[in-house]
Amino acid sequence: MRASVVCGLGGYVPERLVTNNDLSERLDTTDAWIHSRTGIRARHMISSDTATSDLAVEAGHRALKSADQAAVDVVVLATTTPDRPCPATAPEVAARLGVGTVPAFDVAAVCSGFLYALATAAGLIASGTADRALVIAAEAFTTIIDPQDRTTAVIFGDGAGAVVLRVGDPAEPGALGPMVLGSDGDHSDLIEVPAGGSRQRASGRPAAPGEQYFQMRGRDTYRHAVERMTAASRQAVERAGWTTAQVDRLAAHQANARILDAVAERLGIPAERQLSNIAYMGNTGGASIPLLLADTAASGRLRAGHRVLLTAFGGGLAWGAATLSWPRLGPVTDPRTP
């Protein structure tokens, strides 16, 4: 069997740090209000001369360096905020990374994008189409947020994370276990950007005020997120032949501290085994899991031999989970390092 093995890791966030106190200067809110409801103290935001591709290139470069690789056979980019609606952003990222004319394409699954991209790349390796893949998740999420909406403007940040996969043996450290993915389009309106797509454009009506921005129905999203991530996590752990008690590190999409705590509690995973950086990264959409992995690997909170459970939930609705035994990697740079 051709397994996909993680052999490189990189993460990057823009230098600009925006604290809750910074936001409270223009929004009707406070640091205490934001932190009590989200667990967030600060987040990184792009500047006016930066786009998603810039974040993706830097994270991809760091992952390739960690893997000591200069070449891959395919680039898969997960993003909700492409540089342009057309064409895909991945080919430009591949060109700027210098990996040549390899296939490169985008995957759109919002906050579950990294797991969907990971599964796609693993499938290409399993089929023999590729021996090495670069999987990147990059988001300039603050570009689709209404800056005056305190319910969303306080949550999201920007950043990118990436992993390099190589063909290997299912039993070796770093090999991805069975992946669990799911969706429920009956609830697609829970998390959406209403305007800008073919439905609004074909209607002939101009976008209503605010429809160009990200919108989320928080209470319903919370319920679905907790239920879906918990169920997918249990399935992934079972298919890997583990129990939740054997999970050393839970790396969940950094959506909201309350969601993270609820999922961990339902799974019976204690706080000391949860990985989290939401306090100083915020919610970085599809980039949150690889950013979390890079951040905690660089700090030593994630170490070789740890049994790791990954899980995410996002718009679509879409969700997923996967397992792996963490491998020994080359040097991983702190994502906050310029």
Active site residues: 111, 253, 283
SS3 call for 286: helix
- Please name the residue ranges forming H helices in 146-217: 150-153, 198-203
Phi, psi of 237 (to 5 degrees): -65, -45
Hunting for tokens 């997120």 — which residue is that? 225
**Is there a contact between 168 and 175 (Cβ–Cβ < 8 Å)?**
yes
- CB neighbours of residue 181 within 10 Å: 18
Task: Specify the DSSP element, H or E, that contains 19.
Answer: strand 17-19
d(CA 184, CA 228): 10
- CB neighbours of residue 260 within 10 Å: 23
